[in-house]
Amino acid sequence: MKKFILRHFIAGSLLALLLLIQACAVNPVTGKKELSWMSEAWELQTGERYYGFQQQAGGGYYTIDPDLTLYVRSVGKKLIPFSARAHLPYDFVVLNDSTPNAWALPGGKIAINRGLLIELDNEAELAAVLAHEIVHADARHSAQSQEVGTIIAGGQVLATVLLANSDYNHTALQQGVALTSLYGQTRYSRSRELESDRYGMQYMREAGYDPRAAISLQETFVRLSNSNKAGVFSTLFASHPPSQARVDANRASAAQLPAGGLLNRQRYQQEIAQLIDRQPAYEKADKAGKAIANKSYRPALGYAQQAIAIEPNESRFFELKGIALNRLNRAQDALQAYSRSIALDPNYFSPLLRRGLLKHELKSFSGAERDLKDSLKLAPTQVAYATLGEIAERKGFGCSQAMGYYQQAYRAGGSQNQEIQRKLAALKVSCPAN
């Protein structure tokens, strides 16, 4: 018996050692061997699977100025040929969020918020941001992140996308978006940040940009981190913490590279001119969101209307108007505002979700059902599934359909889990066959 156990122990140990050896992979950027359990196929699948959800969690596409996204993509495409994994299906998008931030998913899916573009001075600084994120993807930093892996396993994130500011009498709106944790959640180590800075500067220089722009970028972030604007940058600083040591390291890296290169300040300022012109509108919208969070609905409505007066084609402004109107018990006006928001941008889940929930409250169940299902095509939320379960029960669609929605709601995760469990238990009693 002891020999049997010993043989199996040895066999198991050898198998574990073999797996550990197989898990060692070469970092494509540095050429060093690192522990890696993730295959490239997994990276590609993960990036593709969560890319759309991440964009929804980040405010959706910035649709007002499509040329801005084309411009950002053109800068990213200049860098790709010099990356260590140029074969990856890289993509670059601009998200409609005032929060200064940028992120990379495994497989080369990269996003930058309009709020960060406002803070940059020239095209080379934009290249520095994108090159930095490209290195994160090239070196598998996000794929190897323990924080990412943990949350991907659960498949959930507590998204904020204006939902946190809604005070919609649906707590699940603040917690129920079943996405990954990659957006604004990944915490890179100091060594990985420095690695991304160093090799990103090399990518920049090979693409013709002045690598010293990475220094000025970090100097700006250090200054902002010590100013009264630090809170605005909290998401970016949490995932990409600035420091004087990082500035010094970048300066040392730049000294090892050939001097000179493009800044393209004039072109950059031209490309973001429309964004700058609309900035007063987004500042009013941000004030509307804060007022809603503070339950100051009349001021919120005023700010939203001021934002609309400046830019009448921005979907998010009408959504904010709808939230304020709904909280002021002007349901029909709120429906009109949500409808206008959806007409301007039918590919963002939030106004569809809000209109569906409001229709449900008004007992317009068929319309609610359509909106909620459409919202789920874009982002799976617990509250949408749970409300569809309630509609299925009310319309007499049968226990199996209602239970199916409640089960999906429970899997999505959120603050309603206890209530959903109660409803599932009740359905099992009343419909024992199911």
Cα→Cα distances 432→391, 403, 420, 428, Å: 20, 12, 17, 5
Given the residues 43, 119, 123, 133, select the one marked as catalytic: 133
Distance between CA atoms of 430 and 434, rounded to whole angstroms? 9
Distance between CA atoms of 161 and 426, rounded to whole angstroms? 33
Cα→Cα distances 115→89, 273, 283, Å: 25, 14, 11
- Token pair listed for 65: 């100025």
Residue with tokens 């994160």: 136
Residue 262 is given by DSSP the state B
Would you say 102 and 83 are in contact if contact means Cβ atoms under 8 Å apart?
no
Nearest-5° Cα angle at 412, 49 to 108 = 20
Distance between CA atoms of 290 and 308, rounded to whole angstroms? 17
Sign of CA dihedral 409, 415, 417, 419: negative
The DSSP-derived string for 136-201 is: HHHTTHHHH-HHHHHHHHHT-----TTGGG---S-GGGGT-B---S-TTT----HHHHHHHHHHHH
Letter for the amino acid at 394? Answer: R
Neighbouring C-beta atoms of residue 313, cutoff 10 Å: 12
Q: Is 43 a catalytic residue?
A: no
Question: 27: Cβ–Cβ under 8 A, 6 or more apart, which residues?
Answer: 33, 34, 139, 140
Question: 152: Cβ–Cβ under 8 A, 6 or more apart, which residues?
Answer: 46, 50, 180, 181
Question: 147: Cβ–Cβ under 8 A, 6 or more apart, which residues?
Answer: 181, 185, 186, 187
| Among the listed residues 259, 221, 265, the one whose alpha carbon sits nearest the alpha carbon of residue 123 | 265
Active site residue ranges: 133
